[in-house]
Structure 1
């Protein structure tokens, strides 16, 4: 099958880029011809190494540029005679829709960020993929017909992005609590800082590591500096591969307020982390509804602190939850994601028009 993925860019900034890159590489392994149209970025070299043709399509939201991008995208689709177009972001879906409609090519969209109002536009797809059950229910409430909606739960294990990574744990101060993700309000970091201040009072030797970057970094470093726990908090910044941190951490924590299906939980489970996360959006599904990780209420620093203190005072419980993180972990492979996505494609392509 000839597959064209389209997304705003291929930079390492957010999870939907990682998901699209992982999927494209896995589809090549299944024997398909894959193209990636975007504004370019960090992952282009990896994509080309895996045999994926990278195509430049600017997604800047200015009418003149989008008009040129529409013409360019149309040329790529015609030149490569693609069977399916898969859009991963709202601008991508809007660009691809008129071309696919005119040419009779199925458009598949994936809803990564359901919390954005613009996610409704992903309903333009012939088929719409939701990255978790919660996202699927939300899109149905927005008017997307159940007949064209399919849930394909995120998974990262076996990702091409992870090939050649270090299996050596990072040297961390113990006991350690780790957060990995973007420094954005929806990730709930102020809750974590307030909770860790309580943890630090009870367990002065505990240390918190924050891996990631984002527009609120300065705000968060100032917030932490005002707390008693400040000397025990490390902002590690953006790390190309946080896996060594996950291998070393005593507890991995994700205090999100909104998170459709965070890839980082798949990665943390692969690393064998004991996980504490908030019971919002797709997080419970990724943690087997509490069997593979501990769920706590969102926006409740005291409840989070209580659970972290409980675990840090009970090393045997940390060990037990590390073992539980491996429950049904094979379901979180990128190969499973790729196979289920190919099934969605086949359901969208009229019989007799499939290239491979």
Structure 2
């Protein structure tokens, strides 16, 4: 099959980009011809090294640019002889829909960030992939028929992004609690800081490491500077490869208020961290509904601190949950993601030809 992926860009530190890059390269390994059309970016060299064709397609949201982009995409899809177009963001879906209609090829879309209002436009796809069952339910409530939705849970294990990377654990003072993610309100970081303040009062040797960047980074740094635990919190900024930091940590914590299917949970599990995360959106699915990590209510710092204390204070409990993180870990391999996505393409192709979908 010839698969053309559409992305706004291919820059690092964007979850939907990481997921699409992983998928494209995994599909090549399975014997398919794959291309990525985008505004370009950091991963273009990696794509080329993994035999993924790259094409330039501007996604700038200006009327003249979008109109030009329609013509560019039409020629790219026609001349490259795409069997299916896979759009990963709203602008990509809007550009692809008329092109696919004219060329008579199926459009598959992936809803990576369903909390965005514009995500309803991903319903333009012949088939719509949700990155978790929670996202699928949300999109159904917003009007996308269940008959056009498929769930393909995120996974990163085996990603080419990690090939050849240094896997030496970074030294972190133990007991080390780590957060990796964007500095955004939906990630719930103030809840984590409040919880860690309690942990620190009871266990002054505990340390919190915050990896990531975002628009609220300075706000959070200022917030922590006023707390008694300030000396025990280290903001490490954005890291191209956070995996060595995960390897050096004891506990990974994700206090999100909303999170469709965060890739970092796959990475934290692979690193063997004990995991504590909120019971929202796709997080329970990535943690095997509590078998691979401890689930806590969102927006409840007291409960979060209670669980963190139990791990920090009890080495047996910590070891147990580090082992639990490996439960059914193979399900988070990128090859599984690629194979399930190819099945969605096949269903989309049958639909575009007017054939009935195969029943499971």
TM-score over 0.5 (shorter chain): yes
CA distance in 1 between counterparts of 2:220 and 2:58 reads 33
Aligned positions, number: 353
Q: What SS does structure 1 have at the residue aligned with 2:331?
A: helix
Structure 2: runs of 5+ lacking an equivalent:
354-360
Whether the aligned pair in 1 keeps the contact of 2:126 and 2:351 (CA below 8 Å) is no
1:149 aligned onto 2:149:
yes
Match of 2:356? none
CA distance in 2 between counterparts of 1:276 and 1:352 reads 43
Match of 1:33? 33
CA distance in 1 between counterparts of 2:249 and 2:283 reads 20
Match of 1:300? 300
Deviation at 1:262, TM superposition (A): 0.4
CA distance in 1 between counterparts of 2:167 and 2:41 reads 26
Whether the aligned pair in 1 keeps the contact of 2:210 and 2:235 (CA below 8 Å) is yes
CA distance in 2 between counterparts of 1:37 and 1:189 reads 35
Q: What SS does structure 2 have at the residue aligned with 1:349?
A: helix
Match of 2:59? 59
Q: What SS does structure 1 have at the residue aligned with 2:12?
A: coil
CA distance in 2 between counterparts of 1:250 and 1:260 reads 25
Deviation at 1:351, TM superposition (A): 9.0
TM-score, normalisation: structure 1: 0.97
> RMSD of the TM alignment (CA)?
1.2
Match of 2:165? 165
Q: Deviations over 1:3-57 (max 9, x none)?
A: 1000111111321100000000000001111110111111111001101111111
Structure 1: runs of 5+ lacking an equivalent:
none
1:138 aligned onto 2:142:
no
Match of 1:245? 245
Whether the aligned pair in 2 keeps the contact of 1:14 and 1:182 (CA below 8 Å) is no
CA distance in 2 between counterparts of 1:119 and 1:81 reads 28
Match of 1:104? 104
Match of 1:72? 72
CA distance in 1 between counterparts of 2:150 and 2:250 reads 36
CA distance in 1 between counterparts of 2:284 and 2:302 reads 20
Deviation at 1:350, TM superposition (A): 3.6
Whether the aligned pair in 1 keeps the contact of 2:106 and 2:352 (CA below 8 Å) is no
Deviation at 1:69, TM superposition (A): 1.2
Deviation at 1:187, TM superposition (A): 0.5
Deviation at 1:332, TM superposition (A): 0.4
CA distance in 1 between counterparts of 2:186 and 2:305 reads 19
Over 6 Å off, 4+ runs: none
Q: Deviations over 1:190-219 (max 9, x none)?
A: 111111111111111111000111111111
The aligned runs of 1:1-356 (5 Å cut-off) are 1-350=1-350
Whether the aligned pair in 2 keeps the contact of 1:85 and 1:107 (CA below 8 Å) is yes
Match of 2:357? none
Q: Deviations over 1:270-297 (max 9, x none)?
A: 1111000000000001001001000011
Whether the aligned pair in 2 keeps the contact of 1:179 and 1:253 (CA below 8 Å) is yes
CA distance in 2 between counterparts of 1:350 and 1:326 reads 37
